[in-house]
Protein backbone atom coordinates (compact mmCIF):
# COMPACT_ATOMS: atom_id res chain seq x y z
CA UNK A 1 0.00 0.00 0.00
CA UNK A 2 1.95 2.98 -1.25
CA UNK A 3 0.31 6.36 -0.71
CA UNK A 4 1.98 9.59 0.28
CA UNK A 5 -0.68 12.27 1.02
CA UNK A 6 -1.59 12.64 4.68
CA UNK A 7 -5.34 12.71 3.91
CA UNK A 8 -7.68 11.29 1.29
CA UNK A 9 -10.47 13.62 0.13
CA UNK A 10 -13.67 12.86 -1.77
CA UNK A 11 -14.77 15.70 -4.07
CA UNK A 12 -18.31 15.99 -5.47
CA UNK A 13 -17.86 16.87 -9.15
CA UNK A 14 -16.22 20.28 -9.42
CA UNK A 15 -17.47 21.50 -6.06
CA UNK A 16 -15.23 24.01 -4.25
CA UNK A 17 -12.51 22.55 -2.02
CA UNK A 18 -14.40 23.84 1.00
CA UNK A 19 -16.95 21.09 0.39
CA UNK A 20 -14.31 18.33 0.37
CA UNK A 21 -15.10 15.41 2.65
CA UNK A 22 -12.37 13.68 4.67
CA UNK A 23 -12.74 9.91 4.19
CA UNK A 24 -9.38 8.69 5.50
CA UNK A 25 -6.11 9.95 6.93
CA UNK A 26 -2.56 8.77 7.39
CA UNK A 27 -1.72 7.81 10.97
CA UNK A 28 1.80 6.48 10.35
CA UNK A 29 4.50 6.58 7.67
CA UNK A 30 6.82 3.57 7.42
CA UNK A 31 9.46 4.31 4.81
CA UNK A 32 7.47 4.60 1.54
CA UNK A 33 4.33 2.95 2.94
CA UNK A 34 1.52 4.39 5.02
CA UNK A 35 -0.81 3.16 7.71
CA UNK A 36 -4.24 4.70 7.33
CA UNK A 37 -6.88 5.28 9.94
CA UNK A 38 -9.05 2.82 8.03
CA UNK A 39 -6.33 0.18 8.54
CA UNK A 40 -6.70 0.46 12.32
CA UNK A 41 -10.49 0.18 11.98
CA UNK A 42 -10.16 -2.86 9.72
CA UNK A 43 -7.75 -4.39 12.25
CA UNK A 44 -10.41 -4.26 14.96
CA UNK A 45 -13.14 -5.49 12.63
CA UNK A 46 -11.10 -8.48 11.46
CA UNK A 47 -9.23 -9.34 14.65
CA UNK A 48 -10.94 -12.72 15.01
CA UNK A 49 -9.60 -13.66 11.57
CA UNK A 50 -6.15 -12.43 12.54
CA UNK A 51 -6.17 -14.78 15.53
CA UNK A 52 -6.41 -17.66 13.05
CA UNK A 53 -3.95 -16.40 10.42
CA UNK A 54 -1.46 -14.01 12.02
CA UNK A 55 1.36 -15.86 13.88
CA UNK A 56 2.35 -12.74 15.83
CA UNK A 57 -1.02 -12.61 17.61
CA UNK A 58 -0.34 -15.93 19.31
CA UNK A 59 3.39 -15.36 19.74
CA UNK A 60 2.87 -12.04 21.52
CA UNK A 61 -0.41 -13.00 23.20
CA UNK A 62 -1.57 -9.80 21.55
CA UNK A 63 -4.85 -8.39 22.83
CA UNK A 64 -5.04 -4.69 21.94
CA UNK A 65 -6.44 -2.42 24.62
CA UNK A 66 -5.95 0.90 22.83
CA UNK A 67 -5.68 2.47 19.37
CA UNK A 68 -1.99 3.04 20.08
CA UNK A 69 -1.46 -0.71 20.58
CA UNK A 70 -2.98 -1.37 17.15
CA UNK A 71 -0.98 1.40 15.50
CA UNK A 72 2.35 0.12 16.84
CA UNK A 73 1.41 -3.41 15.78
CA UNK A 74 0.64 -2.24 12.23
CA UNK A 75 3.92 -0.30 12.03
CA UNK A 76 5.79 -3.47 12.99
CA UNK A 77 3.76 -5.34 10.39
CA UNK A 78 4.76 -2.91 7.63
CA UNK A 79 8.42 -3.39 8.54
CA UNK A 80 8.04 -7.15 8.26
CA UNK A 81 6.20 -7.01 4.92
CA UNK A 82 8.85 -4.67 3.53
CA UNK A 83 11.66 -7.04 4.50
CA UNK A 84 10.08 -10.40 3.66
CA UNK A 85 9.10 -10.72 0.02
CA UNK A 86 6.02 -12.89 -0.56
CA UNK A 87 5.13 -13.98 -4.08
CA UNK A 88 1.56 -14.30 -5.31
CA UNK A 89 2.11 -18.03 -5.86
CA UNK A 90 2.97 -18.46 -2.18
CA UNK A 91 -0.23 -16.76 -1.09
CA UNK A 92 -2.24 -18.84 -3.54
CA UNK A 93 -0.68 -22.05 -2.23
CA UNK A 94 -1.60 -21.10 1.35
CA UNK A 95 -5.21 -20.51 0.34
CA UNK A 96 -5.28 -23.76 -1.64
CA UNK A 97 -3.97 -25.57 1.46
CA UNK A 98 -6.87 -24.15 3.49
CA UNK A 99 -9.29 -25.37 0.84
CA UNK A 100 -7.73 -28.85 0.76
CA UNK A 101 -7.76 -29.18 4.54
CA UNK A 102 -11.42 -28.15 4.69
CA UNK A 103 -12.40 -30.00 1.48
CA UNK A 104 -13.97 -26.94 -0.11
CA UNK A 105 -13.45 -25.07 -3.37
CA UNK A 106 -12.78 -21.36 -3.86
CA UNK A 107 -16.43 -20.45 -4.28
CA UNK A 108 -17.35 -22.19 -1.02
CA UNK A 109 -14.45 -20.46 0.77
CA UNK A 110 -15.73 -17.11 -0.45
CA UNK A 111 -19.21 -17.98 0.84
CA UNK A 112 -17.88 -18.96 4.27
CA UNK A 113 -15.85 -15.76 4.56
CA UNK A 114 -18.81 -13.65 3.43
CA UNK A 115 -21.02 -15.28 6.08
CA UNK A 116 -18.43 -14.16 8.65
CA UNK A 117 -18.39 -10.63 7.29
CA UNK A 118 -14.92 -10.98 5.74
CA UNK A 119 -14.12 -9.73 2.26
CA UNK A 120 -12.03 -12.20 0.23
CA UNK A 121 -9.51 -9.49 -0.72
CA UNK A 122 -8.92 -8.79 2.99
CA UNK A 123 -8.50 -12.53 3.57
CA UNK A 124 -5.90 -12.72 0.81
CA UNK A 125 -4.03 -9.68 2.17
CA UNK A 126 -3.94 -11.15 5.69
CA UNK A 127 -2.71 -14.42 4.27
CA UNK A 128 0.16 -12.54 2.59
CA UNK A 129 0.99 -10.88 5.91
CA UNK A 130 0.88 -14.27 7.62
CA UNK A 131 3.35 -15.78 5.14
CA UNK A 132 5.73 -12.81 5.57
CA UNK A 133 5.68 -13.11 9.36
CA UNK A 134 6.25 -16.87 9.31
CA UNK A 135 9.22 -16.31 7.01
CA UNK A 136 10.71 -13.83 9.47
CA UNK A 137 10.19 -16.26 12.37
CA UNK A 138 11.69 -19.21 10.53
CA UNK A 139 14.59 -17.42 8.83
CA UNK A 140 15.75 -14.86 11.39
CA UNK A 141 14.15 -15.32 14.81
CA UNK A 142 13.97 -19.07 15.39
CA UNK A 143 17.73 -19.70 14.88
CA UNK A 144 18.50 -17.11 17.57
CA UNK A 145 15.90 -18.37 20.04
CA UNK A 146 17.13 -21.92 20.61
CA UNK A 147 16.69 -23.14 24.20
CA UNK A 148 19.38 -25.47 25.55
CA UNK A 149 18.85 -28.35 28.00
CA UNK A 150 20.90 -26.36 30.52
CA UNK A 151 18.51 -23.39 30.29
CA UNK A 152 15.54 -25.68 30.88
CA UNK A 153 17.22 -27.15 33.98
CA UNK A 154 18.22 -23.71 35.21
CA UNK A 155 14.61 -22.54 35.04
CA UNK A 156 13.24 -25.60 36.80
CA UNK A 157 15.81 -25.66 39.57
CA UNK A 158 15.96 -21.92 40.27
CA UNK A 159 12.64 -20.31 39.31
CA UNK A 160 10.34 -19.43 42.20
CA UNK A 161 7.31 -20.83 40.33
CA UNK A 162 8.70 -24.40 40.59
CA UNK A 163 9.94 -24.18 44.19
CA UNK A 164 6.96 -25.93 45.77
CA UNK A 165 7.04 -28.80 43.27
CA UNK A 166 10.77 -29.29 43.89
CA UNK A 167 10.19 -29.27 47.65
CA UNK A 168 7.45 -31.89 47.31
CA UNK A 169 9.94 -34.18 45.59
CA UNK A 170 12.47 -33.59 48.42
CA UNK A 171 15.19 -33.09 45.83
CA UNK A 172 18.69 -32.24 47.00
CA UNK A 173 20.54 -30.19 44.39
CA UNK A 174 24.27 -30.50 43.82
CA UNK A 175 26.46 -27.59 42.78
CA UNK A 176 29.82 -27.47 41.02
CA UNK A 177 31.49 -24.19 42.00
CA UNK A 178 34.52 -22.08 41.15
CA UNK A 179 35.75 -19.80 43.90
CA UNK A 180 37.57 -16.50 43.73
CA UNK A 181 39.39 -15.62 46.97
CA UNK A 182 40.10 -11.93 47.62
CA UNK A 183 42.03 -10.36 50.50
CA UNK A 184 39.67 -7.50 51.44
CA UNK A 185 36.09 -6.28 51.15
CA UNK A 186 36.81 -3.35 48.81
CA UNK A 187 38.52 -5.55 46.22
CA UNK A 188 35.83 -8.22 46.61
CA UNK A 189 33.00 -5.75 45.94
CA UNK A 190 34.79 -4.33 42.91
CA UNK A 191 35.33 -7.83 41.54
CA UNK A 192 31.69 -8.78 42.23
CA UNK A 193 30.45 -5.74 40.30
CA UNK A 194 32.60 -6.65 37.31
CA UNK A 195 31.45 -10.26 37.37
CA UNK A 196 27.78 -9.26 37.56
CA UNK A 197 28.39 -7.11 34.48
CA UNK A 198 29.47 -10.23 32.60
CA UNK A 199 33.26 -10.23 32.86
CA UNK A 200 35.06 -13.58 32.98
CA UNK A 201 36.05 -14.82 36.45
CA UNK A 202 39.43 -16.15 35.34
CA UNK A 203 40.27 -12.83 33.67
CA UNK A 204 39.32 -10.84 36.78
CA UNK A 205 41.34 -13.24 38.97
CA UNK A 206 44.41 -12.87 36.73
CA UNK A 207 44.17 -9.08 36.87
CA UNK A 208 43.95 -9.08 40.68
CA UNK A 209 46.55 -11.82 41.21
CA UNK A 210 49.19 -9.27 42.18
CA UNK A 211 46.81 -8.02 44.89
CA UNK A 212 46.39 -11.47 46.40
CA UNK A 213 43.46 -12.87 44.40
CA UNK A 214 43.33 -16.65 43.94
CA UNK A 215 40.91 -18.92 42.11
CA UNK A 216 40.20 -22.64 42.27
CA UNK A 217 37.48 -25.17 41.45
CA UNK A 218 35.63 -26.84 44.30
CA UNK A 219 34.45 -30.47 44.32
CA UNK A 220 30.75 -31.08 43.78
CA UNK A 221 28.76 -30.07 46.86
CA UNK A 222 25.19 -31.00 47.79
CA UNK A 223 22.88 -28.52 49.47
CA UNK A 224 22.87 -30.68 52.60
CA UNK A 225 26.65 -30.47 52.96
CA UNK A 226 27.07 -26.75 52.32
CA UNK A 227 27.92 -24.12 54.88
CA UNK A 228 24.70 -22.22 55.61
CA UNK A 229 26.08 -18.91 54.29
CA UNK A 230 27.16 -20.55 51.03
CA UNK A 231 23.82 -22.33 50.66
CA UNK A 232 21.97 -19.04 51.08
CA UNK A 233 24.32 -17.28 48.63
CA UNK A 234 23.81 -19.78 45.81
CA UNK A 235 20.04 -20.14 46.18
CA UNK A 236 18.24 -18.98 43.03
CA UNK A 237 21.43 -18.52 41.00
CA UNK A 238 21.71 -20.00 37.53
CA UNK A 239 24.68 -21.66 35.89
CA UNK A 240 27.24 -18.99 34.99
CA UNK A 241 26.09 -16.54 37.69
CA UNK A 242 28.15 -15.47 40.69
CA UNK A 243 27.39 -14.87 44.36
CA UNK A 244 27.84 -11.74 46.39
CA UNK A 245 31.13 -11.54 48.36
CA UNK A 246 31.07 -13.94 51.31
CA UNK A 247 33.27 -13.29 54.34
CA UNK A 248 35.71 -16.11 55.16
CA UNK A 249 37.18 -14.56 58.27
CA UNK A 250 40.58 -13.92 56.69
CA UNK A 251 39.18 -12.42 53.49
CA UNK A 252 36.26 -12.79 51.05
CA UNK A 253 35.21 -15.28 48.42
CA UNK A 254 32.95 -15.10 45.39
CA UNK A 255 31.47 -18.31 44.01
CA UNK A 256 30.55 -18.97 40.40
CA UNK A 257 27.99 -21.69 39.58
CA UNK A 258 29.45 -23.90 36.86
CA UNK A 259 26.93 -26.75 37.06
CA UNK A 260 23.71 -27.69 38.88
CA UNK A 261 22.57 -31.28 39.19
CA UNK A 262 19.93 -33.37 40.87
CA UNK A 263 18.72 -36.97 41.09
CA UNK A 264 16.34 -37.91 38.30
CA UNK A 265 13.17 -35.99 38.97
CA UNK A 266 9.96 -37.43 37.49
CA UNK A 267 8.22 -34.06 37.80
CA UNK A 268 11.01 -32.38 35.84
CA UNK A 269 10.92 -35.12 33.19
CA UNK A 270 7.20 -34.53 32.82
CA UNK A 271 7.48 -30.75 32.66
CA UNK A 272 10.71 -30.11 30.79
CA UNK A 273 9.12 -29.89 27.32
CA UNK A 274 6.45 -27.49 28.60
CA UNK A 275 9.20 -25.39 30.18
CA UNK A 276 11.21 -25.53 26.96
CA UNK A 277 8.19 -24.36 24.95
CA UNK A 278 7.56 -21.46 27.35
CA UNK A 279 11.20 -20.40 27.31
CA UNK A 280 11.28 -20.69 23.52
CA UNK A 281 8.24 -18.45 23.19
CA UNK A 282 9.84 -15.87 25.49
CA UNK A 283 13.07 -16.07 23.48
CA UNK A 284 11.14 -15.58 20.23
CA UNK A 285 9.32 -12.61 21.72
CA UNK A 286 12.63 -11.08 22.75
CA UNK A 287 14.20 -11.68 19.33
CA UNK A 288 11.17 -10.10 17.64
CA UNK A 289 11.44 -7.08 19.95
CA UNK A 290 15.13 -6.69 19.13
CA UNK A 291 14.47 -7.12 15.40
CA UNK A 292 11.72 -4.49 15.48
CA UNK A 293 13.89 -2.02 17.37
CA UNK A 294 16.73 -2.46 14.86
CA UNK A 295 14.42 -2.05 11.87
CA UNK A 296 12.75 1.03 13.31
CA UNK A 297 16.15 2.60 13.96
CA UNK A 298 17.18 1.93 10.35
CA UNK A 299 13.88 3.10 8.84
CA UNK A 300 11.83 6.24 8.51
CA UNK A 301 8.89 5.91 10.88
CA UNK A 302 6.66 8.88 11.57
CA UNK A 303 3.26 9.53 13.14
CA UNK A 304 1.86 12.66 11.45
CA UNK A 305 -1.13 13.13 13.71
CA UNK A 306 1.12 13.12 16.78
CA UNK A 307 3.36 15.85 15.37
pLDDT tens-place string over residues 237-261: 889 999 999 999 889 999 999 988 8
User: What confidence score (pLDDT) does residue 3 get?
Assistant: 41
254 touches 245 (CB < 8 A): yes
Determine how many CB atoms are found less than 10 A away from the CB of residue 306. 9
Are 287 and 256 part of one and the same domain?
A: no
285 touches 60 (CB < 8 A): yes
Least confidently predicted of 9-18, 97-106, 107-116, 172-181:
9-18
Are 95 and 133 part of one and the same domain?
A: yes
CA–CA gap between residue 158 and residue 259 (Å, rounded)? 12
Average pLDDT, integer, range 130-158: 91
Report if residue 139 sits inside a domain. yes
Report if residue 154 sits inside a domain. no
Report if residue 208 sits inside a domain. yes
Report if residue 300 sits inside a domain. yes
User: What confidence score (pLDDT) does residue 20 get?
Assistant: 56
Residue 239: give its domain's CATH number.
3.10.50.40
Report if residue 158 sits inside a domain. no
Report if residue 217 sits inside a domain. yes
Are 203 and 107 part of one and the same domain?
A: no
**Number of domains present in the structure of the chain:** 2
**pLDDT tops 70 at residue 17:** no
Are 103 and 212 part of one and the same domain?
A: no
CA–CA gap between residue 6 and residue 31 (Å, rounded)? 14
Are 116 and 28 part of one and the same domain?
A: yes
Are 43 and 112 part of one and the same domain?
A: yes
Are 29 and 82 part of one and the same domain?
A: yes
Least confidently predicted of 10-19, 176-185, 284-293:
10-19
Report if residue 67 sits inside a domain. yes
Share of the chain above pLDDT 90, in %: 69
Are 220 and 255 part of one and the same domain?
A: yes
User: What confidence score (pLDDT) does residue 251 get?
Assistant: 93
Are 16 and 132 part of one and the same domain?
A: yes
Are 128 and 198 part of one and the same domain?
A: no
pTM strictly above 0.85: no
Q: What DSSP designation does 242 have?
A: B
CA–CA gap between residue 238 and residue 279 (Å, rounded)? 15
Domain span at 300: 7-144+283-306
Q: What DSSP designation does 161 have?
A: G
Are 177 and 82 part of one and the same domain?
A: no
Nearest Cα residue to 141 out of 272, 283, 245: 283
pLDDT tens-place string over residues 148-206: 888 888 888 777 777 666 666 666 788 999 999 999 999 999 999 999 999 999 999 99
User: What confidence score (pLDDT) does residue 141 get?
Assistant: 96
User: What confidence score (pLDDT) does residue 11 get?
Assistant: 39
Report if residue 269 sits inside a domain. no
pLDDT tens-place string over residues 26-48: 999 999 999 999 999 999 999 99
Residue 290: give its domain's CATH number.
1.10.4030.10
Are 25 and 125 part of one and the same domain?
A: yes
Amino acid sequence: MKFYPFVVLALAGFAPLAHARLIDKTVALVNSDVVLNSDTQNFKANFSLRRELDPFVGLLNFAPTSANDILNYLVQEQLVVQKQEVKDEEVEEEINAVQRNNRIDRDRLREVLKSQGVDFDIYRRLMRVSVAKRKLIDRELRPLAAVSDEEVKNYYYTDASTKERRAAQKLVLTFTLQQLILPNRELAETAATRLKAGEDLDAVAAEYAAKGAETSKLPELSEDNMNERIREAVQGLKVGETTRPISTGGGYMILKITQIGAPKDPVFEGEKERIRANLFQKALQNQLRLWTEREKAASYVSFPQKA
